[in-house]
Amino acid sequence: MDPLLEALDENAPDAEERIPYWAEPWPSGEALIRFLLSEQAPRRPGPVLDLGCGLGLAGMAALRRGWDVELADFHEDAVELLRENLALNGWDPGRARRLDWRRPPPRRWRTVLAADVLYEAPFAAQLADFLDAALEPGGRALIAEPHRPVAEEGLTLLAARFAGRLRAGRSRAGGRWRPVRILQLRKA
């Protein structure tokens, strides 16, 4: 079979893993960017990880604020494009890295950003475990989520493991305003 057609085979066992979700700006990402560029954003975020960053737009908004940001995605194609995107925007492409949140993180951060990462039920427990290992004591996570039903149980799990609160956010995706939740978590 032609490799391109094989890559598009939606019946392949790993087809879901190959959908390039990272290649699209999502409404939650826009809401997270709005929050990061607002006066409500943390003043001293310390070292920051933009987890599952896709195109890296939220991480670049944080860079624009002068934050020390590392941008990470699971997919090599995303990381490759991310490096180009960073360079085109005048930032060090070395800030981009491949990272699998199902494995222990290589270091700890003061702040972790994530948008639209709770789109599959198992992701919440994996994210909670990652945040527990990746956040410094007293560190925070900002997770933007567009009110997906699949995320409800995950948000409950995250709120039970970390101190947190929900903030209202919004996105102008598709030409109209849409509500987005921004979960602010703090590690004890």
User: Looking at domain 23-186, does it have CATH number 3.20.10.10?
Assistant: no
Q: What's the average model confidence in pLDDT over 55-61?
A: 93
pLDDT in tens, 129-166: 999 999 999 999 999 998 888 888 888 888 889 988 87
- Amino acid of residue 11: N
Q: What's the average model confidence in pLDDT over 23-38?
A: 84
Domain residue extents for the chain: 23-186
Q: What is the pLDDT of residue 170?
A: 73
pLDDT in tens, 142-151: 999 988 888 8
pTM for this structure?
0.84
* Percentage of the residues of the chain whose pLDDT score is greater than 90: 51
Strand ranges inside 22-158, DSSP E: 48-51, 69-73, 96-98, 109-115, 135-145
Of 43 and 26, the structure prediction assigns the larger pLDDT to 43
Of 27, 19, 35, the closest CA to residue 148 belongs to 27
